């Protein structure tokens, strides 16, 4: 705020200036209650505090004021009326700096206030009006320049059609909080704004700056056009250049189809996001057995298992006094490599307590759990507020450790997170930031994280290859290209029984989420993809693996 300066105060006709000084200083601080205390009794009788405060609030909102600064006061006598001239300057969002003078009539040592004194350029009974000119909303572009979203806020479109929405997001009527924010910037109330995806994350950048005119309207002698107090030209928004690959984006959206879920595809080398469909980063769900990649990482790093370790073949296991069954009550076991390929719960559940809470949680957090996804800079991340994939920070109970080890319990993840897990394995144990923008200034500040050793990553790669060649993920196989992956089927609870049906003597059918995450070619990874289908019609191997297979095929040119 600018300092308020006055000359030496003398007796007689300058006795009112200390009140004006306080009035001006209060305005800079937006202390409207104390400003009101400096107005004359006659003005206070006519205008209650609520009306006084509302007058300033409406004027500053109309002018999109960010800050007020006042200057040195001078006084004059106009026809026997003492008047203090107050220079005032406003920093505004839509009109830049607007400066002028306000002539404050004095009644004794108080300001003879009226509503036209809230802004320079207003005559008695005039009000401040903003006539907005909307800027051109900037496009969101794919990595090759193809628009993911373009056109005015009222009619965004893309050559990719609806397939682009998973990454670009939507422009629609604002929430009350957004409406207030955008109105303060100069946009008309209710103007469409970014409400999801990149449209929301970079809404301010894409929206541009509105322009138009600030005019003094009305008044007792209003016969001609309103007088213009300030004017500005709208400034178009700035494009956002994303990392999205148009072909993969189409493929991901097509593979997901009408199913409720999400698909994410990443570059295997640098982790950049190549496709996002559905709720790929916005709908965390229990990850099921895809989490066994993390459990295996922790167990291998701690030396708790070797690939050749043998486990009993059984249909269930008991941990902490609770029985946990294998999927479909199947019998499985054998070597650890076989147990991983068959996603054998009876082998993995006991690993949870052996690994322990600190080691299991720590490994998950190195993979990215309990941290926001590194999509872009902190400001855009805060605007979007994407959900975080989570694991409890402490799991002291053996039962909970057991079910966490198989991706149940309180673990939640997104397809983007599970794609990042697979990318870490493909990248020799180093997790890369999952950048979604190519503009250098907008990229995430995150740096690569060493999650596990190259040796453990190589072991995991071999285990994941076996899942696709002879285990639960054979539906992800590609002709001539070796795929590495992991299935997951998360149980959400029993399905509602039909009327008259009985649970007696029968296994209750579960609602499930179907998962698959993987990469290819396994020996020289280029592309990573993960898919999730909520309330799926089948397990991860039959529902999610074919989705990832289609995305990998499209990205690698496999027929």
Going by the DSSP 8-state scheme, the letter that residue 71 receives in this structure is -
Quote the CA–CA distance of 2 and 16 in Å, as a whole number.
22
Closest of 289, 346, 352, 340 to residue 323, by C-alpha? 346
Question: For residues 197 and 436, what is the distance between their CA atoms, to the nearest angstrom?
Answer: 11
Give Cα separations from 401 to 40, 245, 348, 363 (angstroms). Answer: 72, 39, 10, 14
Q: Give the span between the Cα atoms of 264 and 321, in whole angstroms.
A: 38
CB of 248 within 8 A of CB of 557? no
Under the phi-then-psi rule, with left for phi > 0, alpha for psi from -120 to 50, and beta for the rest, what region is 55? Answer: alpha
Structural element, H or E, at residue 36: helix 32-36
Radius of gyration of the chain (CA): 32
d(CA 553, CA 549): 6
Main-chain dihedrals φ then ψ at residue 131, nearest 5 degrees: -115, 105
Eight-class DSSP state of 174 = P
Q: Hey, what long-range contacts does 158-166 have (CB within 8 A, 24 or more apart)?
A: 159/246, 160/246, 160/249, 160/250, 162/253, 163/249, 163/250, 163/252, 163/253, 163/254, 163/277, 164/249, 165/197, 166/197, 166/249, 166/252, 166/253, 166/262, 166/263, 166/275, 166/276, 166/277, 166/278, 166/280
| Max intra-chain CA distance, the chain | 105
CB 447 within 8 A of CB 465: no
Decide if 292 contacts 425 (C-beta within 8 A): no
Strands 261-267, 449-450: pairing is unpaired
Among candidate residues 40, 289, 357, 432, the one labeled active-site is 289
**Cα–Cα–Cα angle for 406, 412, 413, nearest 5°?**
95
- Strands (DSSP E) contained in 285-405 are 310-314, 316-319, 322-325, 332-335
- For the question of residue 289 being annotated catalytic, the response is yes
CA 104 to chain centre: 48
Show which residues are catalytic: 289
């Amino acid at each position: 705020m600018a300092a308020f300066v006055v000359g030496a105060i003398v007796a007689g006709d300058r006795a009112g200036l200390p009140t004006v000084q306080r009035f001006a200083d209060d305005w800079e601080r937006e202390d409207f209650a104390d400003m009101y205390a400096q107005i004359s009794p006659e003005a206070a009788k006519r205008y209650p505090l609520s009306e006084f405060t509302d007058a300033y609030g409406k004027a500053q909102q109309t002018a999109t004021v960010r800050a007020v600064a006042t200057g040195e006061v001078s006084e004059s006598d106009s026809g026997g009326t003492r008047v203090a001239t107050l220079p005032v300057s406003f920093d505004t969002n839509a009109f830049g700096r607007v400066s002028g003078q306000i002539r404050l009539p004095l009644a004794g040592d108080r300001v003879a206030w009226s509503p036209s004194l809230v802004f320079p350029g207003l005559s008695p009974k005039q009000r401040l009006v903003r006539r907005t000119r909307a800027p051109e909303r900037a496009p969101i572009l794919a990595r090759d320049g193809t628009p993911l979203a373009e056109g005015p806020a009222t009619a965004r479109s893309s050559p990719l059609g609806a397939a682009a929405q998973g990454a670009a997001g939507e422009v629609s009527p604002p929430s009350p909080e957004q409406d207030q924010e955008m109105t303060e910037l100069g946009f008309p109330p209710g103007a469409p704004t970014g409400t999801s995806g990149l449209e929301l994350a970079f809404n301010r950048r894409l929206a541009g700056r509105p322009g138009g005119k600030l005019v003094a309207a009305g008044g007792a002698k209003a016969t001609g056009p309103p007088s213009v107090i300030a004017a500005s030209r709208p400034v178009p928004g700035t494009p956002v250049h994303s990392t999205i690959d148009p072909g993969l984006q189409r493929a991901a959206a097509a593979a997901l189809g009408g199913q409720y879920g999400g698909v994410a595809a990443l570059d295997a080398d640098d982790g950049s996001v190549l496709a996002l469909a559905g709720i790929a980063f916005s709908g965390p769900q229990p990850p099921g057995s895809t989490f066994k990649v993390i459990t295996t990482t922790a167990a291998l790093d701690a030396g708790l298992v070797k690939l050749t370790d043998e486990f009993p073949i059984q249909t269930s296991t008991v941990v902490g006094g609770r029985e946990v069954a294998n999927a479909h009550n199947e019998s499985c076991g054998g070597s650890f490599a076989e147990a991983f390929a068959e996603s054998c719960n009876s082998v993995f559940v006991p690993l949870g307590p052996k690994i322990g809470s600190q080691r299991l949680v720590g490994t998950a957090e190195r993979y990215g759990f309990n941290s926001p996804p590194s999509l872009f800079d902190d400001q855009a991340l805060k605007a979007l507020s994407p959900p975080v994939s989570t694991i409890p920070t402490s799991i002291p109970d053996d039962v909970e450790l057991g079910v966490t080890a198989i991706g149940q319990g309180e673990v939640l993840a997104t397809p983007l997170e599970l794609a990042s897990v697979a990318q870490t394995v493909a990248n020799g144990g180093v997790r890369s930031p999952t950048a979604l923008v190519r503009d250098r200034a907008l990229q995430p500040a995150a740096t690569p994280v060493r999650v596990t050793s190259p040796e453990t990553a190589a072991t995991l790669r071999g285990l994941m290859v076996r899942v696709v060649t002879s285990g639960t993920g054979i539906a992800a196989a590609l002709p001539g290209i070796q795929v590495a992956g992991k299935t997951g089927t998360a149980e959400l609870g029993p399905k509602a029984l039909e009327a008259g049906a009985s649970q007696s003597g029968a296994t209750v059918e579960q609602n499930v989420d179907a998962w698959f995450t993987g990469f290819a070619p396994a020996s020289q990874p280029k592309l990573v993809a993960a898919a999730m289908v909520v309330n799926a019609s089948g397990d991860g191997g039959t529902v999610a693996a074919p989705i990832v297979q289609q995305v990998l095929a499209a990205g690698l040119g496999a027929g």
